[in-house]
Amino acid sequence: MTTTTTATATATAPVLPPLHIGRHVIESPVVLAPMAGITNRAFRLLCREYGAAGLEAGGASGASSLYVAEMVTSRALVERTPETMRLISHGPEETPRSVQLYSVDPATAGLAARMLVTEDLADHIDLNFGCPVPKVTRKGGGAALPWKTDLFRGIVSAVVREASRHDVPVTVKMRVGIDAEHVTYLDAGRIAEAEGAAAVALHGRTAAQAYSGQADWEAIARLKEAVTSVPVLGNGDIWSAEDALEMVRRTGCDGVVVGRGCLGRPWLFTDLAAAFAGSDARVRPGLREVTSVLRRHAEYLVDFYDGDELRGCRDIRKHIAWYLKGFPAGSTVRNQLALVDSLAALDDLIGSMDLDAPWPGEPAEGPRGRAGSPRVVALPENWLRGRELDEAQRAQVAQAELSVSGG
């Protein structure tokens, strides 16, 4: 893999020490956020390749970052649905293997964790308490769940209990709360720490914000003050390596979680690894390299779908606009790329572009992915009436894992 970097690459002392997640030592304190439909094995492989290049640029070695697979539901995992088993598949080069679980039921969560560790399917388990999607929150899951402290405690405890028997660390990813009036992150952070979580990650937005507005980095700083025995990771509005360094400076967090910032830009992991190693080396690819990465991504997707070229090409379509952000590709080519149905067709379209176009600079930087807009969070009936489940809510969340897809 070749990368185009800025001319200077001056290495100094590392900005942060390696990140310790249980028994795992992550040389660069960076985590790829699990993103539905994005962080499958194909995309993780690209990010991993670029992360390793960043460590090399910074003069370090080891596990470049932690790359987490997209969320799967505990129920679907226990039932071994074929798509769920595909989503938790890892390549031989993936160490440690990270899986994110969604659950609203301690018993099912525990069974899923037991399956992962006894069958050697994961080296790290992350728990999703941050998803703001209405189909999740209206069932009491994701970012809505920490409001019910006993339920939250029960899920974390059950998964930690099962995973710890095989020395597999468990981490928790969450949001600030449901909305500005129903903030949960400090309570949740302390509970997760007390129940044996190996780290906690905070996206500095509420569920009501979705991905709109600005992430509240001050909340990350407050969580770092409240949780003292395990790493605290910050998430939200990291679009560049410089953003990551600034978050660490302002919050004191032990590492960062990167989601939308790497969409169509897996080389961000080169920049991040180099930056945290104290190097100013940065990747600035021209269109030839960007389309080469796009083509390789499509190839990896075809492999992920067991050689199904049409399915792999359909999957790559959502990434096209992200890869080409800021480049003079033209609307006709962009529209044709969004309909690509074979690798040969992809090659033809790439060949029709001006591949000598340089990195466009500012137009290619900054936010990517849908921001959405603030909204009223969909919740189970009377969810906000108290911090404990009533009988009706208990029955409702018992059904939730049966009706939430995504793994």
The 10s digit of each residue's pLDDT in 243-289 is 999 999 999 999 999 999 999 999 999 999 999 999 998 999 999 99
**How large is the average pLDDT for residues 47-74?**
81
Same domain, 297 and 355: yes
Q: In this structure, are residues 283 and 63 in contact, taking their beta carbons and an 8 Å threshold?
A: no
Q: Is the dihedral of CA 209, 215, 219, 220 positive or negative?
A: positive
Across 57-66, average pLDDT = 65
- 194 lies in the same domain as 319: no
The answer to whether position 205 is within a domain reads: yes
**Is residue 7 situated within a structural domain?**
no
Rounded mean pLDDT of 94-106? 96
Alpha carbon distances (Å) from 392 to 35, 307, 361: 31, 46, 54
Say whether both 198 and 341 belong to one domain. Answer: no
State the DSSP H helix or E strand holding residue 372, giving kind and residue range, or none if neither. none
Q: What percent of the chain has pLDDT over 70?
A: 93
The pLDDT-based confidence of 7 (bands split at 50, 70, 90) is very low
Element (H, E) at 201: strand 199-203
Strands 177-179 and 182-183, sheet pairing: antiparallel
pLDDT of residue 2: 55
Whether 330 and 275 share a structural domain: no
Whether 3 shows a pLDDT value over 80: the answer reads no
pLDDT of the residue at 405: 46
pLDDT at res. 329: 86
Q: Does a structural domain hold residue 69?
A: yes
Residues 264, 296, single domain; the answer is no
Query: Mean pLDDT lowest for which of 29-38, 52-61, 89-98?
Result: 52-61
Q: The domain spanning residue 344 has which CATH number?
A: 1.10.1200
Q: Which of 321, 343, 359 is the last residue of a domain?
A: 359
Q: What's the domain range around 336?
A: 287-359
Q: Are strands 72-73 and 98-102 parallel, antiparallel or unpaired?
A: parallel
Same domain, 34 and 92: yes
233 plus 303 within the same structural domain: no
Could you give the CA distance from residue 380 to residue 50 in angstroms, rounded to a whole number? 42
**Once rounded to an integer, what is the mean pLDDT over residues 174-183?**
98
Dump pLDDT digits (tens) for 320-370.
999 999 999 888 998 999 999 999 999 999 999 999 999 999 999 999 888
| Dist. CA 323–CA 6, nearest whole Å | 19
Contacts of 199 (CB under 8 A, 6+ apart): 19, 21, 169, 171, 172, 230, 231, 232, 233, 254
Q: How confident is the model at residue 402 (pLDDT cuts 50, 70, 90)?
A: low
Q: Is-contact 287 357, C-beta < 8 A?
A: yes
Per-residue CA distances from 54 to 26, 66, 274, 279 (Å): 13, 14, 5, 9
φ, ψ for residue 266, nearest 5 deg:
-65, -20
What is the total count of domains within the chain?
Answer: 2
Name which residue leads in pLDDT, 5 or 218: 218
Confidence of residue 373 (pLDDT cuts 50, 70, 90): confident
Q: Is residue 302 within 8 Å of 295, Cβ to Cβ?
A: no
Q: Are residues 291 and 279 in the same domain?
A: no
Residue 374: inside a domain, yes or no? Answer: no
Percent above pLDDT 90 for the chain: 84
With the C-alpha atoms ordered 236, 193, 142, 181, is the resulting torsion angle positive or negative? negative
Please report whether residue 404 resides in a domain.
no
Contact at 8 Å (CB) between 241 and 271?
yes
State mean pLDDT over 216-227.
98
Report pLDDT for 64: 72
Average pLDDT, the chain: 92
Asked if residue 159 and residue 261 are part of one domain, the reply reads yes
| 236 belongs to a structural domain | yes
For residues 231-240, average pLDDT: 98
Residue 262 has a pLDDT of: 97
The answer to whether residues 337 and 242 belong to one domain is no
pLDDT on residue 67: 97
Quick one: average pLDDT of 214-225? 98
Domain finish residue from 259, 283, 307 = 283
55 has pLDDT over 70: no
pLDDT confidence tier of residue 396, bands split at 50, 70 and 90: confident
User: Tens of pLDDT along 295-316?
Assistant: 999 999 999 999 999 999 999 9
Clarify whether 131 is annotated catalytic.
yes
Q: Which of 257, 283, 309 is the last residue of a domain?
A: 283
Q: Which run of H or of E encompasses 316?
A: helix 309-317
Indicate which residue of 47, 131, 253, 262 is catalytic.
131
- Give the pairing type, strands 98-102 and 177-179: unpaired
333 and 190 belong to one structural domain = no
Does 85 map to a domain?
yes
CA distances to 9, 290, 361 from 286, in Å: 19, 6, 10
Tens-digit pLDDT profile for residues 8-28: 445 567 899 999 999 999 999
| Residue 234: half-sphere exposure toward Cβ, Cα within 13 Å | 27
